[in-house]
Amino acid sequence: MPSKKVAWIEGEVTADVLINKLADEIANAKIPDTTNRWEKVFEVNEDKWVTYTKNSVANTQGTYKHTDGKTYQVYKLPDLRDLKAVSAGTPLVDKDGYIYETNGYGNTKTGKKIQVNEFVYTDEEGNEITLSVPGLLVVNVNEDDPTNTVGKKCYVLQQGKYELDGVTFTPSSEWNEYRLITQLPSDWNDLIEKKQWTVYYYGSASSYWTYVNASPYTFGMVKYTANPVHFYDRTVVLKTVPDVPTGEASNVYYVMLKHPTGQYNYVDVYYGKEFTGKNPSGSSADTYSRACDIRTVIHGKVPNIINQKEAELQYRKWNNPDEENKYNPPQEAWALDYDEKVEIKSPPSHFFYGADSVVSWVPNKKRRPDYWVEYNISVSNDRVAIVIVGDPSPDMDAYYNSFAYIGKTIPFADYDQKGNFGITVGMGDLTKEKSGFLPSDIKQDSNQTYSGWGRYTSNGMYSFSMLQTRSSVYFQAYYPAFITQLPNYSGVGTIPPELSKMVLEKNGFQMSKWTKRYHASPIYLVHQFEGYRGYLDSVVAIEDHNLINKDELVVDTEEPKDPQNPEAGNWTEVYKFFKTNTPVNFFKYSPNPTDSTIAILKEVY
């Protein structure tokens, strides 16, 4: 058998669920004469949730809203139990705990007095309760009192909050809510209305007045603020165990497909070691549906809180490790490197299939979630080769034929199994207008995401990213090498005059007149230190002149199906040809960056 048998799958799906469909197709592929070892081990659709921060707003003015619908200033009563006249030192609190208002220089009492020690009232259950006056919170409300002519009643307040049921009241010094306890006896309503009383005059060489008042109540009020909205991207993780030669240990690899929230031009591909994931539990909507204005719950934005008590409830749930009825977001983790800090997980490789519109008359230039994406997948237990193509509408140039290779390569050394797994994907234009990326966004020397494993860290787009080199360096860049005629290097460089005649005429190049066949080449992988390591499995490089996208190339392997029965014929391979056109792909750093493309094994019969 010249090549491992493969499953070939074609189809289309809307962009919003592309990774789910790809994962299902790969995991459910019927690979001839073997058991499919690709397995979907984690799948979470995109989700969002809100967390909160508890703050204190200093010097908040205490205000009480009465049953008449009006809001009143809250006051805090001072401690006047030991009040003495200024300079004279005369005690001003009588034996019953009263201080009297005076009028004029003769200290004439006006008949009004305030209790400054304590008083007793009867609660709703008939119990007698003693309240100490100093520190009481009080309010004057617009109610007539037959005992005075102020037109106000002074009530004692209890500070706290009404719970979400609107009935239960919980005492607290953090909330600007209050309930009435009882009416405050004596003439505090008169004092608060006047703002200040004169209670004693002392005349000598200088004149001294002693005053009393109640200060407006201020406090540190609790306020919950929302943090920027948390998002978890739609994510699928596949696990596979490639074939290994007899005597070699099997290896498990994980590949993650992530669909960035709100992005419909590409998906991100990661791979690495020992992935573990935990699905979410509870309702993410509970974290914001009643606390926030839902219209403001937007990716990366800070939502507006419309209900502080709901925000407090969610804050307490989130910060209570024993709370069972709360939302727990998805979790993912990878094996850690020897430092027990860094995850063995590749940088993201952006697998593009579409671009934003550049047509001036298109109002919404972003790609839609319901655009169709075509996919072509070749699956073996060792690797997956994929070509995806976005719907070109409304721009005929706003899409890509994009190639990805995920998995093991065919090594030159049989013992090369442990780190022999990698990826490369096709990426879109490096312009903000079409793809949102600039060259600096994916270069090692300008984006630390792509330099975490050294100066030759692969981004999986310009190069082929391999899990480990022979010396166990992770995620290093390998480059393709293959047999090709001299390319023209248009836009790449200048060909020396001595070589210019070796450039074939583009319009004339076709199949061989000698063999009547198109000739392809294995795609070898080369490392700047290791040299040649192996080649891609059942994917070849081929010149695309005079070939039509999706042409099928039939290969007579000249290898008999049954050496004992020549009449059984030879094995035949069928390759599917694709005119890939992503501006960024690993062919750009190859012997032929402009004119070569790929053909993928479709079937063997």
Exposure class string for 426-439: b at 16+ Cβ within 10 A, else e = bbbbbeeebbbbee
Q: How many other C-beta atoms can be found within 10 angstroms of the C-beta atom of residue 113?
A: 22
pLDDT, mean of residues 442-450: 92
The separation between the first and the last C-alpha atoms of the chain, rounded to the nearest angstrom, is 10
- The first and second tokens of residue 424, run together, are 């490369």
CB 62 within 8 A of CB 137: yes
112-121, 496-505, 548-557: least confident range = 496-505
Is residue 59 exposed (0-12), middle (13-18) or buried (19+ Cβ within 10 Å)?
exposed
pLDDT digits (tens, 9 = 90+) for 62-79: 999 999 999 999 999 999
pLDDT, mean of residues 341-359: 95
SS3 373: strand
- The first and second tokens of residue 401, run together, are 């034929």
Main-chain dihedrals φ then ψ at residue 150, nearest 5 degrees: -75, -30
- The predicted pLDDT at position 195 comes to 95
For residues 410 and 430, give the distance between their C-alpha atoms in angstroms, rounded to a whole number: 32
- The predicted pLDDT at position 557 comes to 86
- The predicted pLDDT at position 89 comes to 92
Residue with tokens 């977001």, as numbered in its chain: 329
Confidence of residue 592 (pLDDT cuts 50, 70, 90): confident
Question: Could you give the percent of the chain with pLDDT greater than 70?
Answer: 95
- The predicted pLDDT at position 270 comes to 98
pLDDT digits (tens, 9 = 90+) for 499-509: 555 666 666 66
pLDDT digits (tens, 9 = 90+) for 482-526: 998 877 666 555 666 655 556 666 666 667 778 888 889 999 999
- The predicted pLDDT at position 565 comes to 92
Return the closest-CA partner of residue 443 out of 428, 463, 471: 463
- The predicted pLDDT at position 486 comes to 74
H or E segment at 185? none
Instruction: For the chain, give the mean pLDDT.
Output: 93
Q: What is the DSSP string of 338-349?
A: TTSSSB-BPPPE
pTM for the full model? Answer: 0.85
Confidence of residue 276 (pLDDT cuts 50, 70, 90): very high
- The first and second tokens of residue 297, run together, are 């719950």
- The predicted pLDDT at position 498 comes to 58
pLDDT, mean of residues 459-484: 96
Residue 1 has pLDDT above 80, yes or no: no
∠ CA 265-270-271, rounded to 5°: 155
**Residue scoring higher pLDDT (54 or 367):** 54
- The predicted pLDDT at position 493 comes to 58
Main-chain dihedrals φ then ψ at residue 361, nearest 5 degrees: -85, 0
What does the longest C-alpha to C-alpha distance in the chain come to?
136
CA dihedral 469, 472, 477, 479 (to 10 degrees): 0
- The predicted pLDDT at position 79 comes to 98
For residues 404 and 344, give the distance between their C-alpha atoms in angstroms, rounded to a whole number: 21
For residues 145 and 232, give the distance between their C-alpha atoms in angstroms, rounded to a whole number: 61
pLDDT, mean of residues 331-348: 96
∠ CA 550-555-559, rounded to 5°: 155
- The predicted pLDDT at position 495 comes to 64
pLDDT digits (tens, 9 = 90+) for 400-438: 999 999 999 999 999 999 999 999 999 999 999 999 999
Q: Which residues are bridge partners to 211 per DSSP?
A: 198
For residues 21 and 13, give the distance between their C-alpha atoms in angstroms, rounded to a whole number: 7
- The predicted pLDDT at position 502 comes to 60
Residue 255 has pLDDT above 90, yes or no: yes
94 Cβ contact partners less than 8 Å away, ≥ 6 residues apart: 100
pLDDT digits (tens, 9 = 90+) for 8-46: 999 999 999 999 999 999 999 999 989 999 999 999 999
For residues 536 and 404, give the distance between their C-alpha atoms in angstroms, rounded to a whole number: 11
pLDDT digits (tens, 9 = 90+) for 160-175: 999 999 999 999 999 9
Confidence of residue 361 (pLDDT cuts 50, 70, 90): confident
